[in-house]
Amino acid sequence: MKEKLKRYKKIIILILAVVAIMVLNGVMMNIKTVMIFDEHTVIETRTLAITVAQVLDQHQLTLQESDYIYPAPDERIKRHEEIIIKRSVPVTIEVDGEVIPLMTYHKTIDEALSQADIILSKQDILNYSLEEAIEKDMQITITRVESRVDTVIEEIDYEEISRPNEQMDKGKTALIQQGVVGEKGKQYSVILHDGNEVLRELITEKILREPVDKITEYGTVKTHKSAEGELFRYEKMLRMRATAYNLSYESCGKHPDHPHYGITFTGMKAQHGVVAVDPNTIPLHTLLYIEGADGSWAYGFSIAGDIGSAVKGDIIDLFYDEDDVMQYGVRPVNVYILK
């Protein structure tokens, strides 16, 4: 009986040893070699863990939602496994009037912009190079650059020309030609940064419509109202001294039987309105209007038809039909040279 018990014990021990060896072999077969690359830290471990997440728990490695890990936490561990972890850092991207906060595990700005679905044009300005390494709390600024061609229509002012009209009374004006504004087209090359214009350069300029000058005329002919209320034109007015003469011998030096009695130097008949002048002052045959310097009396319309030995310079001799002109004396007069 004792022999049987000993034999059973040996069999049980043998079975347990076999089971233990089998268990140990199974355990040994399930041990995995894992390399964890966590940024600048490398962890080498041997583990019976089944999933990536279990390995991380064993080494108390926690992840943020924005961190990168490969393989995924729920993936099963292979016999020889490499786990790669990329830690995300906060950055801000200022673009299109917005400030975008971003957690990124990418290494370069180019990759971070791709993550944020931000596309750069060739003209856009970035405050870093695309190959610049991402750093914590980096502020990335993108300036949107737009170039365009603007066409602008501008007015061309017309000239205002005022010219004299020697046939028009002084003080009067007349519109001869209405002014018309011209037009010119300009093309500009325009550069905008974030919608704000920073540069404008003229490319081309073309006259689309020539302006038309505005022309007005103003009268230069002087006018004066006679004592009778008649308005007449004159070229100039002379301040002179008037004397008087008649057909008496004392005035003209001729008796009635003289062949040229009553005939002036120009051949005109001596009568009211025919006056003697100095031709150096007033040319003969000039039409005149004569009135007192104070405007209180008028001799009237006249013609320079005679001369006299005593008529020199500013002296003008007025013909009167009266017998006695010696009392006339010398009077200041305004002599208008008629137009």
Is residue 256 reached through a cis peptide bond, with omega within 30 degrees of 0 on the bond before it? no
Please give the backbone phi and psi of residue 58, each rounded to the nearest 5 degrees, phi first: -60, -35
Query: Which CATH number does the domain housing residue 326 bear?
Result: 2.40.40.10
Q: Using an 8 Å Cβ cutoff, are 100 and 91 in contact?
A: no
**Same domain membership, residue 205 and residue 247:** no
The pLDDT of residue 18 is: 52
Tens of pLDDT along the chain (339 residues)?
A: 667 666 667 777 766 665 555 544 544 457 999 999 998 899 999 999 999 999 999 999 999 999 999 999 999 999 999 999 999 999 999 999 999 999 999 999 999 999 999 999 999 999 999 999 999 999 999 999 999 999 999 999 999 999 999 889 888 999 999 999 999 999 999 999 999 999 999 999 999 999 999 999 999 889 988 888 889 999 999 999 999 999 988 888 889 999 889 999 999 999 999 999 999 999 999 999 999 999 899 999 999 999 998 999 999 999 998 877 878 899 999 999 997
Q: Do residues 61 and 107 share a domain?
A: no
In a domain, 13, yes or no: no
Q: Give dist(CA 193, CA 76) in Å, integer.
A: 52
> Other CB atoms closer than 10 Å to residue 251's CB: what's the count?
19
In this structure, is residue 112 part of a structural domain? yes
Structure tokens at 20: 């233990």
pLDDT of residue 324: 76
My answer on whether 116 and 156 are in the same domain is no
Are residues 230 and 329 part of one domain?
yes
Q: What angle do CA 232, 243, 238 make, to 5 degrees?
A: 40
Same domain, 175 and 259: no
Is residue 309 within 8 A of residue 191, CB to CB? The reply is no
Residue 34: give its domain's CATH number: 3.10.20.90
- Do 239 and 271 share a domain, yes or no? yes
Q: Are residues 286 and 213 in the same domain?
A: no
Parallel/antiparallel/unpaired status of strands 231-245 and 173-177: unpaired
Are residues 279 and 180 both part of a single domain? Answer: no
Give me the pLDDT at residue 252, please: 84
The residue type of 139 is: Q
| Neighbour tally for 140: CB within 10 Å | 21
Q: Among 143, 164, 181, where does a domain finish?
A: 143
Residue 107 sits in which domain range? 89-143
Question: What is the pLDDT at residue 323?
Answer: 74
With respect to residue 26, please indicate whether it lies within any of the assigned structural domains. yes
Clarify whether residues 119 and 200 are in a common domain: no
Residue type at position 270: A
Is there a contact between 290 and 277 (Cβ–Cβ < 8 Å)? no
